[in-house]
Chains A and B, each alone.
Chain A
């Protein structure tokens, strides 16, 4: 029995942390945030040298063949540095779709390119969780019609994985005839989401598509978003503690005021158990199938709540400075804000958790 990261996992996390410290400092994040819908190619190339894009892809296809816990601790670091990287769609959800539902030919064609960091893959799956604005994609005779919102890693994608209203998954090329695309601008400028509108768009079905495959993509996506929030929240706490240790008012550092200390203690007390939950939820995706879906729901909803509390509280500890653009603290605040809503907000996810246990129709 060992509930801990392995030595290799700690090394992996450290190397990603060091890479991001050097290559994605706040001024780089700021620059990237001015161009949200542009992939940061050189940063992604650097991440490729660490094997990040293909970390979940089997070694046969040029990937590292690692598990979801490895992916979660990497995304935690990416969240920690609010790094503008197309991780969620390209590294996690699209390869998962290809591995679970794609043909051999599709896998051979696309997985090695993803693993090499050469391409970006978007994922259009929001309507499997909830339909707004009449969105939803119908598949008829190999053509897709309809629209999908909040497409993950929307910008510059070399292909999209699109879920239709019938548990089918499809691969769509960005220049396909009848496809139109609109960027959606959210508060979070470090990640791109957008809209795809389909008018009888030719699509390649993933032949082994199933409701299970779709659900598993969502589970994995939720755990990753929880990990992103964990990393971002942890960094906000550390920034708050550091700021409180320097800023003086009333002749003392504000970190010596108990009102401020207790806010920091409350953030730490909420974050520490959250880390254990994220680890387990990711581990369950790899190893405990019976627990995976429920724990993905718990991780997503719990981190959404803890993230919101930490994001606002850490900002408050920074006083007026926290509210400004000067410190850039808002990048973390906004990242946590997007994580909360993507792939289902906490209330919706808790309803799903209730259904899973037979507690709701």
Chain B
């Protein structure tokens, strides 16, 4: 156990701090959860890339900074941005999911064309996986792509497609081989959302905002060259992407920021003149969450060490999505409870606290528990892959 980073890394930390001191005023105010980044956010992102604080390990040829992968450097960057409360590198489905997938499995031409503008925030992507009939059982998806000359012709429907209404491009799973077993007949296509035949209908979520969409495809023509990986190999390509998505959730620094905000809230909110933090029941819940958060934080450090040694951390990794999403949700739940009736104020109500963000978060985070592999699917994975328990008897073919 050695939690010191050592002189080389401490020097690197100083560099990051110097950068932050010098440039933090250029940082955009809020980045928004998803959607199209503002021009300010794009130029901030580009500044970060230029200094190696975004797209750090992505080769220069593809628009990155071109540093050698070093997990500790990445960690230090994350720590420093978080403690300075400065927005760090842009995160969206294009950057976090599509880019690594292209780098791993795309053609040279695809990498050259798409990675750079995606990293710079100029091209926004959406993820077209889920369908009305295929959620957890994603591999049963039915959207069809049939061959016609040099094109695929796509017909079908996607659902829960986040940011589709703003996206330039989509990475999409389609069935190209209807006669093959379900996992072997899928292909991974990338195409423009402006392609004729695409209709996007926003779906309002429980938060009251349209955060995701239904996407309909009617005879949408996509050149065959826009496939990533081999035909029929889309399931493997998609799994590469899902792996990156799970990495995106459950960032302990983000949970710590939420926890700190909760502590601030509990010091401010009073009932009968008593601060929430002085209420023994609320305080007990707070400390309980703090202990869980500490456990997840140190679990994160353990994962970091495994990763830097190239070891598979096994269960310690498999539990992250389940535990982090739950913990984040519990932090919001306590915030709402300490506010009492004020905790259910919403929209632009008088007396609204923190712009309603706790209540919004409590609902949005329930979406995170469901999206990207539900809690129940996570438990299947933990028990089957992590603990080696028997798989479900297969009913579906």
Q: Which residues from B are CB-within-8-Å of A264?
A: 383, 387, 389
Q: Are B287 and A301 in contact (CB under 8 A)?
A: yes
* A258 interface residue per 8 A CB criterion: yes
Q: Are A1 and B3 in contact (CB under 8 A)?
A: yes
Given A4-B302, A265-B382, A302 and B291 contact (CB-CB distance below 8 Å)? yes
Q: How far is the CA of A241 from the CA of B390 in the complex (A)?
A: 10
* B54 interface residue per 8 A CB criterion: no
User: Which residue of B is nearest A347, CB measured?
Assistant: B284
Q: 8 Å CB contacts to A: which residues of B239-297?
A: 277-278, 280, 283-284, 286-288, 290-292, 294-296
Flag B1-43 by CB within 8 Å of A: 1 or 0 each: 1111110010000000000000000000000000000000000
Q: Which residues from A are CB-within-8-Å of B134?
A: none
Q: 8 Å CB contacts to A: which residues of B288-322?
A: 288, 290-292, 294-296, 298-299, 301-302, 304-306, 308-309, 315-316, 319, 322
* A334 interface residue per 8 A CB criterion: no
Q: How many residues of A contact B (CB 8 A)?
A: 47
Q: Are A268 and B315 in contact (CB under 8 A)?
A: yes
Q: Which of B4, B75, B383, B391 has the most chain A CB within a 10 Å cutoff?
A: B383
Q: How far is the CA of A241 from the CA of B315 in the complex (A)?
A: 14
Q: Which residues from A are CB-within-8-Å of B391?
A: 256
Q: Which residues from B are CB-within-8-Å of A351?
A: 280, 283-284, 287
Binds B, one of A182-190, A270-278, A320-328: A270-278
User: Which residue of B is nearest A9, CB measured?
Assistant: B1
* B366 interface residue per 8 A CB criterion: no
16 new A-B contacts, CB < 8 A, other than A255-B390, A277-B291, are A1-B2, A1-B3, A241-B387, A241-B389, A252-B393, A264-B383, A272-B299, A273-B298, A273-B323, A276-B301, A276-B302, A277-B298, A279-B298, A287-B3, A353-B287, A360-B283
Which residues of A approach B to under 8 Å, CB–CB? 1-6, 69, 241, 244-245, 252-253, 255-256, 258, 261-262, 264-266, 268-269, 272-277, 279-280, 283, 287-288, 295, 297-299, 301-302, 305, 347, 350-351, 353-354, 359-360
- Can you report 13 residue pairs joining A to B where beta carbons are below 8 Å apart? A1-B5, A245-B389, A253-B390, A261-B389, A265-B383, A268-B387, A276-B298, A277-B298, A280-B294, A283-B3, A287-B1, A301-B291, A351-B284
Which residues of B approach A to under 8 Å, CB–CB? 1-6, 9, 72, 75, 277-278, 280, 283-284, 286-288, 290-292, 294-296, 298-299, 301-302, 304-306, 308-309, 315-316, 319, 322-323, 376, 378-380, 382-384, 386-393
Q: When A and B form their complex, which 8 residue pairs have the shortest distance between CB atoms, in order from nearest?
A: A276-B298, A273-B295, A3-B301, A265-B379, A261-B383, A265-B382, A298-B291, A302-B291
